[in-house]
Amino acid sequence: MATSAPRHRLFLCLDGLRGVAALLIVVRHTTQLLGGLSFEASYLAVDLFFLLSGFVIGNAYEEKLKRNMSFPTFMATRLIRLYPLYLIGLLLGLMAAIIRHVDAAALLYHGLLSLVFLPNPDAKGDIFPINGPTWSLFLELVVNALYAATLGIVVGKRLVSVVAVSAIGLAACAILAPTSNLDLGWTVATSVGGVFRVLFSFFAGVLLYRRFSSRPIQEARRGNVASWLILACMSAILVSSPPAWAVPFFDLTAVLVVFPVLIYATLGWQPIGFSATLFKFGGLISYAIYVLHAPASYLAGNVHHLLFRTDIGSAAPWSGIAFLVVLLLACFIVDRYYDLPVRRYLSRN
């Protein structure tokens, strides 16, 4: 009889992928600070995050949910993981808005919605205007709840059916969307696309986990060449700029085929030495980078304008380089001295 693969093995390659994807999202949202540097396909990093989340959540919680972890306990655990850093991002966004002299009533309204992790129902603009990337965290919580609530139902062929139907919906959204791409979900108008993005990638990640966990136990092969090659392949996709006519097909091929294949390939490899340290560091601060970068960049831009009466982009690309260095250092400090202690405290109580 085949024994299950180890459930809590370190997946350092996945950490490296998550770290690089988070950095490319930062570049996407701070292009003004970097002199116009932008990567067209970097929005696909969100689909990668959802895919990684499905695998990691399955690896960390599936057996616990099957044994004795209740649905409320699981959701509380997920909120404890996401909310402390999310709250810091919200506070940074509020500070940036106050400096920008945003309408007080609107700020209070959006602030209260964001405080309880609810989207703005207004059809105009971001559904989380104080911290734009929060839309994906909201969908992450929704799909986490769906996963836990249907754990004993969505199994075997049913799971495959969910992934297949979601893939069809995702394809329809990519082709029919006015933008003809998968940059969907962050506005009310594109929210259906966001739902299909998270449904496909998250449950595809769960499917990968179940396939992996059913394999006979095998020690991961150690080597840096393969680990960096996988990272390079993923990065090449996210920095690509396909011609306009090919964008929907490029996006769908990346999300439906290439990402799952590459993720599954990473499970068989483990970087070593300094590479392992780098990959681990990338995974450690990736969530802090993702949830803090947008409000931090708004705040930096507004403070710069307040002090010097010039746009922060006038100092590009040095302003962008300085922002990235400070962001990485700040994320490491906040993760170690705030997020980790707070989560430990909340988990004990």
Q: What is the pLDDT of residues 151-190, one digit of tens each?
A: 989 999 999 999 999 999 999 999 998 889 999 999 999 9
Give the separation between CA 290 and CA 115, rounded to whole angstroms: 18
The reported pTM is: 0.94
pLDDT of residue 219: 73
DSSP assignment letter at 269 = E
Q: What is the pLDDT of residues 91-103, one digit of tens each?
A: 999 999 999 888 8
Identify the helix (H) or strand (E) that includes residue 221: strand 221-222
pLDDT of residue 165: 97
pLDDT of residue 112: 95
Pairing relationship of beta strands 221-222 and 269-270 according to DSSP bridges: parallel
Q: Which whole-number Å values give the CA distances from 304 to 98, 289, 340, in the listed order?
A: 14, 21, 31
Q: Residue for token digits 């059916």?
A: 161
pLDDT of residue 2: 39
For residue 304, the tally of other CB atoms under 10 A from its CB is 18
Give the separation between CA 290 and CA 191, rounded to whole angstroms: 20
Greater confidence (265 vs 288) lies with: 288
The widest CA-to-CA distance across the chain, in whole angstroms, is: 70
